Structures are given as structure tokens and as C-alpha cells.
């Protein structure tokens, strides 16, 4: 896939799936604008980094205006910024804990997508990939806040796709399964947890961030022009084995 001279925005670009998406785009010739609450962990001549909280609408507006002024285009967006569950049953969650997860994982997608698509609509083209999770469909205890946020991303993806269809902007999401990242390493570095997790995944291994990034690249490319409003589970067959 050739993304030479195309401009992509990736939120959560500093680590995990977001970093893998950023590096894959760079490897394929793209210009990447990374957004993260932490300082850049990527140094590349075609990479620009902004310190940004995706829940801060004012910051998002300012950064998107800067990007438009600098490049006069945005070809694609990957919404990857996110946080994990509070790990409490829903009846023990405070409204602060609930809002923190929902605001970052769902409202942040809405805010960043809103202002990015306003730039794309001028040219009637664009691609958006939202990162959801298998927990949007397959649930476990003590994850109500996270499941609600990721389920919301799936619904928002389809709704955005319909709203943007007349502008030739395709919106899809990816629902990763068990994936080894900085956020999950504490669990998967435990041999017993890793062995059990791999035993219930049909392909027999935990995903690498690059496995998810490969699908994101396909959805950002011209090859996916006829896919719209969909959520693709990238989980080694875990969903269909349940």
C-alpha cells in the first residue's frame, strides 16, 4: 500500500496499537500527525507530534486548524486514544470514574472525528478507523464502563458512516481481541494468564499491535472503498469460538 504524501492523524500515537498504526503508515510513505497526552516516542522526518487531550474540544479545534494550515488536507484518522476499565462492578462506580472512561474512549472519538471530518468534507474524501474492542460484544464482570464506551464506539462508527456517506468518507472500526501492549503487559507477562489466554484463542496466540495496524492500513487504503460502517473483529477467532 502506498500512502506517499497523504496526511493521517493518529490519536494515542505514543504506544500500543496507536504507535503501531503510526509506524506502519510512516513505513508506507505517509505523513503522520500523532496526538497523545505524553511526549513523542517516535522520531521521523514525516512525523509531527502534538500533546493533546482528545476530550478537550478547544485543544482539538486549535490543533486541527494548525494541521489544515500546514498541510491543507487530512486524508485519514485513526481514533486510538483510550484508557482501561476502572475494574469495579457498575454499582460501585462513581460518576467521576464512569465519566473518565466514557469521555476518553467515546466522547474523545466524537470530538476528534467531528473536527477532522469538517476538514475532509471540503475535499469529499477521507477514511476514519475507530478502535473498539471485543468487549463491545463479549463481556466480563467489572467492565461496565469500558464495555459501554467501546460498544458506543461501534454504534457511533455506523452512525458516522451514514452521516458522511454523501461526502465519500468511509468510517469503520476494529475490535481487537487480546493484544499485548503497554496497557496489558502486566497481565500477559504472567505466564499463567498468558497460557490460559492463548489456550482460548483459536489461532493460539495473543495479538501483536502490528496485527491490528495491518487491518487499520487496509481500511485507510483505497482497497476498502466499498466497506463502510462496519466493525471488524481482529481477535484470532475468539468471537466466533464463544
Cross-strand partners of 49? 34
CATH fold label, 7-181+208-241: Rossmann fold (3.40.50)
Q: Hey, what's the cell of 235?
A: 481477535
pTM of the model: 0.95
pLDDT for position 242: 72
Average pLDDT, consecutive stretches of 10 residues, N- to C-terminus, the chain (242 residues): 93 97 98 97 97 97 97 97 94 97 98 98 97 94 95 98 98 96 88 93 96 98 98 95 82
The residues annotated as belonging to the active site are 146
CA–CA separation, 117 and 56 (whole Å): 17
Neighbours of 212 (CB within 10 A): 28
Cross-strand partners of 128? 77, 171
Residue ranges covered by each domain of the chain: 7-181+208-241
pLDDT for position 166: 97
CA–CA separation, 13 and 86 (whole Å): 22
Amino acid at each position: 500500500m502506498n500512502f506517499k504524501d497523504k496526511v493521517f492523524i493518529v490519536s494515542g500515537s505514543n504506544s500500543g496499537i496507536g504507535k503501531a498504526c503510526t509506524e506502519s503508515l510512516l513505513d508506507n510513505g505517509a505523513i503522520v500527525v500523532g496526538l497523545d497526552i505524553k511526549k513523542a516516542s517516535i522520531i521521523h522526518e514525516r512525523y509531527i507530534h502534538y500533546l493533546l487531550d482528545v476530550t478537550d474540544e478547544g485543544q482539538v479545534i486549535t490543533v486541527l486548524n494548525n494541521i489544515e494550515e500546514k498541510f491543507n488536507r487530512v486524508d485519514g484518522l485513526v481514533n486510538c486514544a483510550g484508557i482501561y476499565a476502572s475494574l469495579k462492578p457498575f454499582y460501585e462506580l462513581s460518576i467521576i470514574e464512569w465519566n473518565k472512561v466514557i469521555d476518553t474512549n467515546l466522547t474523545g472519538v466524537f470530538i476528534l472525528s467531528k473536527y477532522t471530518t469538517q476538514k475532509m468534507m471540503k475535499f469529499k474524501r477521507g477514511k476514519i478507523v475507530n478502535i473498539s474492542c471485543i468487549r463491545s460484544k463479549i463481556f466480563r464482570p467489572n467492565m461496565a464502563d469500558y464495555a459501554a464506551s467501546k460498544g458506543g464506539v461501534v454504534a457511533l462508527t455506523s452512525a458516522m458512516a451514514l452521516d458522511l456517506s454523501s461526502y465519500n468518507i468511509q468510517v469503520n472500526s476494529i475490535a481487537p481481541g487480546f493484544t499485548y501492549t503497554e496497557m496489558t503487559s502486566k497481565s500477559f507477562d504472567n505466564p499463567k494468564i498468558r497460557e490460559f489466554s492463548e489456550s482460548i484463542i483459536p489461532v493460539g496466540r495473543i495479538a501483536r499491535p502490528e496485527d491490528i495496524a495491518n487491518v487499520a492500513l487496509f481500511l485507510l487504503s483505497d482497497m476498502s472503498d466499498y466497506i463502510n460502517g462496519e466493525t471488524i473483529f481482529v481477535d484470532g477467532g475468539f468471537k466466533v469460538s464463544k
